[in-house]
Amino acid sequence: MVAGNCNDRPSLQELKIKNCGITGKWLSQMLQHVQGVQNRNDGQANENDYSLETTLPCFLGKPIRLKKIVVEESPSLKFLQLKSCTALEHLKIQGCASLATLEGLQFLLALRHLEVYRCPSLLPYWESLSGQGYDLCPRLERLNIDDPFILYTSFCKHLTSLQELRFWFCTNLIDLPTALHSLPSLKRLEICSCWSIARLPEKGLPPSLEELDIDDCKEELAQQCRTLPSTLKVKIDGTYVN
């Protein structure tokens, strides 16, 4: 299923792809039609070389003005092409078990909100980003993840603008990453349904942190959070404790 907020077709702002069973050819044709009103002389993309098992062919040619992309429950998708989405601000990927590459991530200079859930094949990709020689997502402010591995990779050093971080259902996570302390702009940290975490990082929380939200976690973690300085807003299971 593909949905878009496109009252004015040349100004398509949001694209949602869920439980995708359509062909790459159909998706390419649909977005060429949307973009073609604005760029009639740009030519046509090749419709015959694409399959949603290997690529998402909707972002070809010149830059487009999409602000938000949501890709959900598409387990056969292996390759997401983003290099034409230079205006993208919000990217959410969920339930894409085979997805292994976000091609063109370095072009998303406007990206502010990134959500990645249940995409285990992306882990080697995050690790491969070291030494690329360019800044990644320099305006990223909000990161929501269910696997903290991303914070152990070189991608973490690019998160200088990150203000909000959410751990969601990291059920196998025992310790919070020590890399948290090195996030210079982090203001809000949310830990939700991470049942194995019993304590805060040994190096402590980032000095910039203003709010800590703990929900559905171990009582040991909650008790430690209750002892934090009153200058930090602490919310536990929906209630502020200081």
* Domain boundaries, given as residue ranges, for the chain: 1-121
In sequence order, the 6+-apart residues with CB closer than 8 A to the CB of 8 are: none
Residue with tokens 């709010």: 211
Residues of the chain with pLDDT under 50: 1-10, 22-31, 33-34, 36-60
Q: Cα-flanking dihedrals φ and ψ of residue 67, to 5°? A: -100, -30
Report DSSP state, residue 180: G
pLDDT of the residue at 162: 92
Residues in the chain: 242
pLDDT of the residue at 138: 87
In sequence order, the 6+-apart residues with CB closer than 8 A to the CB of 174 are: 196, 197, 198
Distance of CA 56 to the CA centre of its chain: 17
Closest to 145 in 3D by CA, of 136, 155, 135? 155
3-state secondary structure of 36: helix
Global confidence as pTM = 0.78
How far are the Cα atoms of 4, 9, 15, 30, 42 from residue 34, in angstroms, in the given order?
11, 5, 12, 7, 13
Q: What is the pLDDT of residues 124-183, one digit of tens each?
A: 888 787 656 567 788 999 999 998 877 777 677 778 899 999 999 988 888 888 878 888
How far are the Cα atoms of 8, 103, 130, 133, 241 from residue 31, in angstroms, in the given order?
13, 18, 33, 32, 49
**Under a CB-based contact definition with an 8 Å cutoff, are residues 95 and 73 in contact?**
yes
3-state secondary structure of 29: helix
Q: What is the pLDDT of residues 161-178, one digit of tens each?
A: 999 999 999 888 888 888
In sequence order, the 6+-apart residues with CB closer than 8 A to the CB of 115 are: 91, 92, 93, 94, 143, 144, 145
Which H or E element spans position 236?
Answer: strand 233-236
Q: Measure the CA–CA gap between 52 and 80, rounded to whole angstroms.
A: 9
Residue with tokens 């502020």: 240
Q: Measure the CA–CA gap between 212 and 194, rounded to whole angstroms.
A: 14
